[in-house]
Chain A
Amino acid sequence: MNIDSSNNNNNSNNNVSGNVNNKDDMNFLSDININIFSPNKKMRLMHINSNESSNNKGEKSLSQRQFDRNLMTPGQTISREGEFLRGHGTFHSNNALLASVCGLVERVDKLVSVRPFKARYHGEIGDIVVGRITQVGSKRWKVDVAARQDYILMLTAINLPGGIQRRRTSSDELQMRNFFVENDLVYAEVQAINQDGSVALHTRNQRYGKLQNGTFMSVPPSLIKRGKIHYHSLESIGVDIILGVNGYIWLADSAQQRQQASLIQQHEKENYDQPLLIPQAIREVSRESRIKIARVKNSIEVLNRSFMLIHPRAIMEIYQLAEKMSLPLKDMLHPDKIKQMITAVHTNLTSNKLNNKNKTNNNNNNQDSEGEDDEDDLNEYNAYYNDQMNTE
């Protein structure tokens, strides 16, 4: 009897573990305790547990304590005195300044604000965004940019084919669907924020406009920092990325996009009356580059799932790691592999940081060095992570 029952137990255990392995998507379930409560089992209430564990921790590292101090939850008091100015994510109540979101406190002089980890995009003038057309209205399009409302793209704010100086006629208004239709992706810039809070976009630049023949993904806007450049070309693998400030990302094949752009330019100059048809030969993206694009997309997804900042350097690091580990494309998003890659990136970064410090020191000594661009990029990268560090 005993032997039988133990065998059964083993079998059932094996089955359970097998199931868990198969369901990678459901990995969060493994974190949740799905024990069935029965009066026979002695189960301690969680509040007893949590008290004990917090006592057990005892000593925390300095940065951890700093993190705990800066971490705010809604309704928590930041300061009792009235000497601070109320910033985003805070409010006054009973002469005290309270946090209204869960996030880290930022202090600039007297201005105190709390930045939430995840929040909807909030537009600022000059932001470069990727959006999706949701509605065609009279003289305007509505664009979804993951903000709290759809942004507006006016007919007067786009580049019409046939030269910038062309007058907008009523026939343009009737042909708005020739430019953008619902579900088109656009690459645009925030032009103005109106009195009533609505936000206007524009595409009045050669590089802005409709996005075609690539792939789209979205991440939380907080993972993408505002910067000078949001259109990146990963030259070593021939993939173009647009990291929209609003967390929308566009990926495409560099060579194909270049060809397409020149075709569109030519079309706009010569016969802009006819609707544009991109021939199959130009539309086509080779299998190799599609694989590369998919790998880049997965790399971004790895960063997204581990809530790390998305930056071309970080993407390339993951991309190269995955290649070094000769991971098949579909296995890149396996939770174990993600963990492996992230630890590797962390160790790489710390060693890089040391090297960079030495490098910048050297540069200060002999100022006119070669490869300034590269150095700029490195500095930007450092500033990027330092920014993150300061908030913690």
Chain B
Amino acid sequence: MSKLSYITPEGLRIDGRRNNEIRRLNMKMGIFNRADGSAYYEQGNTKITVAVYGPREVASNQRMLHDRAIVNCEYSQAAFSSATDRKPTRKSDKQSYEIASLIKQAFESTIQITLFPRSQIDIYVQVLQADGGLKAAALNAATLAVIDAGLPMRDFICACSATFIEGVPLLDMNQMEERSGGADLLLSIQPQLGGVISLNMESKVPQDMFESVLELANLGCMKIFALLQTEVKRHSADLLSNQINPKS
């Protein structure tokens, strides 16, 4: 087979998107009754559920902090989530651990944890289907769940990935584009306060092109933020729709 082409001469990608388009987003907050907050998040074929518990009593006293809450994150990928490799899941998987600590650090900086001394907040991320952009999707999903739990945050956390393949910057990679061996840039920002939470890049991008890739990722984050905020507002209106209001 000849070398796979990632972009057609017309400028369309493998799944038919243009270079500056994100995949279709679908989301729903408050899917679990038992958790304090929960969310379902779908970005293209990547599907994720998140449950947030807490702030609650610290499980082990040694880890308790007297000035703030501790944030725990557990990330796991279902055995059936990926079409290509079906391996039994291990809890202490290196990649899972990396994503978990990324989420943990992001939320430690954004949730106002100093308001909850001697407590702990648990974030459980479960990937149901993996099709690239997992880190970004997990962060966005966790944001919705944390908001649903009513935890005070300085801002949303919005994340988006971008890459540089065949001389073109691409937004929001899917699995195939991730495997191309091109650069993998992950940007997570606080869209309203205007801060960067994390910026990671694997492999290289020509120096003069880096700026444009980063700018593209930033635009992707802002677009995702608009969608997340719409969903949060829709969910809130839904929640209160049955309560007695002045109209009736």
How many residue pairs at the A-B interface have CB separations less than 8 Å?
Answer: 157
For the complex formed, measure the closest distance between the CB of A239 and the CB atoms of chain B, giving whole angstroms.
Answer: 23
Q: B122 in the interface, Cβ–Cβ < 8 Å?
A: no
Give 1 or 0 for each of B105-149: 1 = CB within 8 Å of chain A CB. 000000010001111000000000000000000000000000111
Q: In the complex, are the beta carbons of A309 and B243 less than 8 A apart? A: yes
Q: A93 in the interface, Cβ–Cβ < 8 Å?
A: yes
A148 cross-chain contacts in B, Cβ below 8 A:
54-57, 69, 116, 119
Q: A334 in the interface, Cβ–Cβ < 8 Å?
A: no
Q: A101 in the interface, Cβ–Cβ < 8 Å?
A: yes
Q: In the complex, are the beta carbons of B112 and A91 less than 8 A apart? A: yes
Q: B239 in the interface, Cβ–Cβ < 8 Å?
A: yes
In the docked arrangement, what's the CA distance between A48 and B22, Å?
11
In the docked arrangement, what's the CA distance between A68 and B229, Å?
12
Q: In the complex, are the beta carbons of A308 and B44 less than 8 A apart? A: no
Partner of A45 from B21, B153, B192, B243 at Cβ < 8 Å:
B21
A33 cross-chain contacts in B, Cβ below 8 A:
26, 42
Q: In the complex, are the beta carbons of A197 and B117 less than 8 A apart? A: yes
Q: In the complex, are the beta carbons of A100 and B152 less than 8 A apart? A: yes
Q: For window 26-76 of chain A, which residues contact chain B by CB distance below 8 Å?
A: 28, 31-33, 36-37, 39, 43-47, 50, 61, 63, 67-68, 71, 73-76
In the docked arrangement, what's the CA distance between A32 and B69, Å?
33
Give 1 or 0 for each of A96-113: 1 = CB within 8 Å of chain B CB. 001011110000000000
Q: In the complex, are the beta carbons of B155 and A74 less than 8 A apart? A: yes
Q: In the complex, are the beta carbons of B148 and A118 less than 8 A apart? A: yes
Q: In the complex, are the beta carbons of A308 and B247 less than 8 A apart? A: no
In the docked arrangement, what's the CA distance between A349 and B242, Å?
12
In the docked arrangement, what's the CA distance between A197 and B26, Å?
40
Q: A149 in the interface, Cβ–Cβ < 8 Å?
A: yes
Considering the complex, give the chain A residue whose CB is closest to the CB of B131: A37
Q: In the complex, are the beta carbons of A75 and B36 less than 8 A apart? A: no
Q: B37 in the interface, Cβ–Cβ < 8 Å?
A: yes
Q: In the complex, are the beta carbons of A349 and B248 less than 8 A apart? A: yes
Q: In the complex, are the beta carbons of B245 and A73 less than 8 A apart? A: no
Q: In the complex, are the beta carbons of A149 and B192 less than 8 A apart? A: no
Q: B180 in the interface, Cβ–Cβ < 8 Å?
A: no
Interface of B is mostly: loop
Q: B188 in the interface, Cβ–Cβ < 8 Å?
A: no
Q: In the complex, are the beta carbons of B152 and A46 less than 8 A apart? A: no
Q: In the complex, are the beta carbons of A39 and B230 less than 8 A apart? A: no
Q: In the complex, are the beta carbons of A37 and B24 less than 8 A apart? A: yes
In the docked arrangement, what's the CA distance between A43 and B25, Å?
11
Partner of B240 from A36, A37, A117, A342 at Cβ < 8 Å:
A117
Asked whether A392 and B245 contact (CB < 8 A) given A31-B28, A148-B54, A149-B56, the answer is yes
Chain B's interface size range is 35 or more
Give 1 or 0 for each of B37-67: 1 = CB within 8 Å of chain A CB. 1001010110000000011111000000000
Q: For window 136-171 of chain B, which residues contact chain A by CB distance below 8 Å?
A: 147-156
Q: B237 in the interface, Cβ–Cβ < 8 Å?
A: yes
B242 cross-chain contacts in A, Cβ below 8 A:
306-308, 342, 346
Q: B233 in the interface, Cβ–Cβ < 8 Å?
A: yes
A388 cross-chain contacts in B, Cβ below 8 A:
243-245
Asked whether A74 and B150 contact (CB < 8 A) given A32-B26, A117-B236, the answer is no
Q: In the complex, are the beta carbons of B22 and A74 less than 8 A apart? A: no
Q: A240 in the interface, Cβ–Cβ < 8 Å?
A: no
Q: B193 in the interface, Cβ–Cβ < 8 Å?
A: yes
B69 cross-chain contacts in A, Cβ below 8 A:
148
**Residues of A participating in the B interface, judged by any CB pair closer than 8 Å:** 28, 31-33, 36-37, 39, 43-47, 50, 61, 63, 67-68, 71, 73-77, 89, 91, 93, 98, 100-103, 116-120, 134, 142, 144, 148-150, 197, 306-309, 342, 346, 349-350, 385, 388-389, 392
